[in-house]
Amino acid sequence: MREYAMVKQSINKDSLPYRLYQKAKRHGVWDPIDIDFSQDKEDWQKLNPAQQQEVLSTIALFIGGEEAVTADILPMIMAVTKKGWFEEETYLTTFLFEEAKHAEFFSLFLEEIGVTDDLSDLLRPGYRQLFDEILPNAMGRLLDDQSPEAMVDAAVTYNMFAEGVLAETGYWFFYEGLSKINLMPGLMEGIRNIKRDEGRHIGFGTYLIQRLIHEKPELFDRVQERLQELLPIAAALTARDESTVYVNEDGKYVTSLGFEDGKSMEYALKQLTTRIEVLSRAKDKSLDEINETDVIFE
């Protein structure tokens, strides 16, 4: 029979998960239905077919990914519950609400701009490998295995890679491709809200992995190995179809929205390096120091 932590002790209000929970209550209650997409409808028509396809290809990755991570977070919630980590459990309950809302947002956006086509054809094999196989397997393992190794594999795959590398690269795409030319204000408003939510998620994953590395320092090597295994997927998902790339007046290969070929992968590698650098410091930190660190990528 499980012993309930609240009977034995109060909530640790100084823990990072609890502080993230407080932030989620303050900042995670935005409603996709409240976003005005009227200008987006007009802006969508200003994009040529190649630009529209480039935007839809990225949105397809997001909407499918958000649906996947909504379902896949459940085993992690159950795992921290079994370990008696009440503050972590409390914060993780907000993941379900926020991830489902993110999927709703992208669905509403497509509906408002009049896109009703099935976008599944835009999903590449690497995407399906990650979200149909690797991620659900890593998360599902937690139902029966709450070992430090299983927890690290799950958090690295979900928080560090899917959210911290791929999603962050997607946000960069929207900011560089649309925000800088003042298009799609409704889409960009939702992206800003989602990015803030995901910043908390990445912060939690960073904390969790640091906590596990603190308890078992050799896990840092496992983290690096796991990220290196996943890196080819990032390369595959950020690569541009040759048919959509052309040579601009400066002699550079760019996409329809002006992205220089290879820049997306360059940004993804930057995100990956940042995550590894932060996690590498966990071996020399106490648990109190890990809790005190406000590692939130917002």
Does the predicted TM-score (pTM) go above 0.85?
yes
Among 7-16, 173-182, 231-240, which is the least confidently predicted range? 7-16
**Predicted confidence (pLDDT) per residue in 246-272, tens digit:** 666 666 667 777 777 678 888 888 888
The set of residues, in sequence order, having a beta carbon less than 8 Å from that of 245 and lying 6+ positions away, is 253, 254, 255, 261
> 283 lies in a domain?
yes
pLDDT above 50 for 101: yes
The identity of residue 69, as a single letter, is: V
Residue of 124, 121, 122, 119 whose CA lies nearest to 232: 124
**Predicted confidence (pLDDT) per residue in 57-91, tens digit:** 889 989 888 888 888 999 999 999 999 999 999 99
C-alpha dihedral sign at 98, 23, 267, 171? positive
**Predicted confidence (pLDDT) per residue in 127-145, tens digit:** 999 999 999 999 999 999 9
CATH code of the domain covering residue 189: 1.10.620.20
Residue-level pLDDT at 180? 73
Return d(Cα 30, Cα 144) in angstroms, integer. Answer: 35
pLDDT band for position 297 (50/70/90)?
very low
**In 188-213, which positions are buried (b, 16+ CB within 10 angstroms) versus exposed (e)?**
bbbbebbbbbbbbbbbbbbbbbbbbb
> 210 lies in a domain?
yes
Q: What is the mean pLDDT of residues 34-48?
A: 96
Give the residues across from 143 on adjacent strands: none
Range of the domain at 255: 46-292
Please give the residue that has the higher pLDDT: either 98 or 250: 98
Average pLDDT of the residues of the chain? 87
Q: Indicate the number of domains in the chain.
A: 1
> 185 lies in a domain?
yes
pLDDT above 50 for 298: no
Q: What is the mean pLDDT of residues 219-224?
A: 95
pLDDT above 70 for 31: yes
CB atoms within 10 A of CB 49: 8
Contact criterion met (CB below 8 Å) for 142 and 135: no
> 101 lies in a domain?
yes
Percent of the chain at pLDDT > 90 equals: 55
> 200 lies in a domain?
yes
> 106 lies in a domain?
yes
Return d(Cα 176, Cα 180) in angstroms, integer. Answer: 6
- Encode the chain in three state secondary structure: CCCCHHHHCCCCCCCHHHHHHHHHHHHCCCCHHHCCCHHHHHHHHHCCHHHHHHHHHHHHHHHHHHHHHHHHCHHHHHHHHHCCCHHHHHHHHHHHHHHHHHHHHHHHHHHHHCCCCCCHHHCCHHHHHHHHHHHHHHHHHHHCCCCHHHHHHHHHHHHHHHHHHHHHHHHHHHHHHCHHHCCCHHHHHHHHHHHHHHHHHHHHHHHHHHHHHHHCCCHHHHHHHHHHHHHHHHHHHHCCCHHHCEECCCCCEECCCCCECCHHHHHHHHHHHHHHHHHHHHHHCCHHHHHHCCCCCC
Residue-level pLDDT at 4? 53
Residue-level pLDDT at 156? 96
> 22 lies in a domain?
no
Residue-level pLDDT at 242? 58
> 26 lies in a domain?
no
